[in-house]
Amino acid sequence: MTTHPQTGRVVFLDGSGDLPMIEIRTPWSSAEIHLLGATVSQFQKKNEPPMLWVSKFSRFEKDVPIRGGIPVIFPWFGKPADKPGQHGFVRQQMWEAKEVSSPPDGSVFVRLHLPSVGASPLCPGALLEYLVGIGEQLTAELIVTNQGPQSFAFEDCLHTYFATGDISGVSVSGLQGQEYLDAVQNFLPIKDAAPAIRVDQEVDRVYLNAPQATEIRDEEWKRVIRVEKENSRSTVVWNPWIAKSKRMQDFGDEEYLQMVCVESGNVRTDAITLAPGATHRLKVKLSSKPV
């Protein structure tokens, strides 16, 4: 057990499925990070409901992504015909905790990395680091450095699952009138003039050229979550609704009623090409307030 008596508290332990996990407590909040996929599986501010959602049916097993929290998607998003599987491969690999630091204010920073990723022919020489900050807010920064001799292109995404009260009282604002690709209709380009996105059917919207912040307003839990981001041109909004929930083994049939994904990354035509020696830093900052 590692503790920081003067500030936050960081404990390394075996979590669900006996998978290594880091438990963090700060003066404002608590959080959990599973080394599997470097998945932030929980973040909760004192006197607030959890901010992140994890399925009760998630399998906490090696080589299987955790269903919830903040899966790290790299080096591709979705299921391109020429790629083996969905959403890249780093979300189901075991990362390593490289450094834990706790500034005097009691916040906690955990730096993780995935040494093996550079061996992939898809991102030769890539160095992947992930810096998670836990305090009054949650920050997560995926840092990709090209240490190889040639450029490579990649997509990345912090595929965040947010916990909500009943979905009928949830709306996502910040994307009004912006064209999106509707993954439910084979990525048909659509514009929605509504002030905010509400979920009353399967929603799977890929917004490109969308660097702006978004907000998730939750009427039942009387909370607004703000999603701010840096170096992210894509936002994906997803709720599987009824039929897709039933098709997923690690997703309860009714769980769609209490979650929504608002994902921050660089996907499809927003993909990144990284020259030798260059670094790309995808960062999200999650904050919340009662309303």
Q: What is the 3-state secondary structure (H, E, C) of 101-156?
A: ECCCCCCEEEEEECHHHHHCCCCCCEEEEEEEEECCCEEEEEEEEECCCCCEEECE
Asked if 263 interacts with ligand TA6 (CB under 6 A), we say: yes
Minimum distance of ligand TA6 from residue 180's CB (angstroms): 12
Question: Helix (H, G, I), strand (E, B), or coil: what is residue 199?
Answer: coil
CA 178 to chain centre: 22
Catalytic residue (choose from 129, 141, 155, 263): 263
Question: What is the C-alpha to C-alpha distance for residues 112 and 199, in angstroms, rounded to an integer?
Answer: 34
Minimum distance of ligand TA6 from residue 200's CB (angstroms): 18
Binds ligand TA6 (CB under 6 A): choice among 16, 30, 44, 86: 86
Minimum distance of ligand TA6 from residue 261's CB (angstroms): 6
Binds ligand TA6 (CB under 6 A): choice among 34, 45, 87, 223: 87
Binds ligand TA6 (CB under 6 A): choice among 236, 257, 259, 282: 236
User: Can you give the C-alpha Rg of the chain in angstroms?
Assistant: 18
Residue 264, strand partner residues:
158, 235
- Write out the binding residues for ligand TA6, residues 51-70 only, by CB under 6 A: 65
**For residue 269, what are its two tokens?**
């035509």
Asked if 78 interacts with ligand TA6 (CB under 6 A), we say: yes
For this structure, is 159 an active site residue? yes
Given the complex with ligand TA6, which of 10 and 72 has the nearer CB atom?
72
Minimum distance of ligand TA6 from residue 162's CB (angstroms): 13
Given the complex with ligand TA6, which of 73 and 112 has the nearer CB atom?
73
The DSSP bridge pattern shows strands 272-274 and 72-73 to be unpaired
Catalytic residue (choose from 32, 87, 159, 255): 159
Minimum distance of ligand TA6 from residue 72's CB (angstroms): 12
Asked if 173 interacts with ligand TA6 (CB under 6 A), we say: no
E strand or H helix that includes residue 34: strand 29-34
DSSP string, 75-108: S--S--TTSSSSSBSGGGSBPEEEEEE--TTS-E
- Write out the binding residues for ligand TA6, residues 175-234 only, by CB under 6 A: 183, 204
Total binding residues for ligand TA6 by CB under 6 A?
11
For this structure, is 263 an active site residue? yes
**Exposed, middle or buried: residue 290 (CB in 10 Å: 0-12, 13-18, 19+)?**
exposed
Q: Could you tell me how many residues make up the chain?
A: 291
Given the complex with ligand TA6, which of 10 and 203 has the nearer CB atom?
203
Catalytic residues, by residue number, are 159, 263
Interaction site with ligand TA6 (CB under 6 A) = 65, 78, 86-87, 159, 183, 204, 236, 238, 261, 263
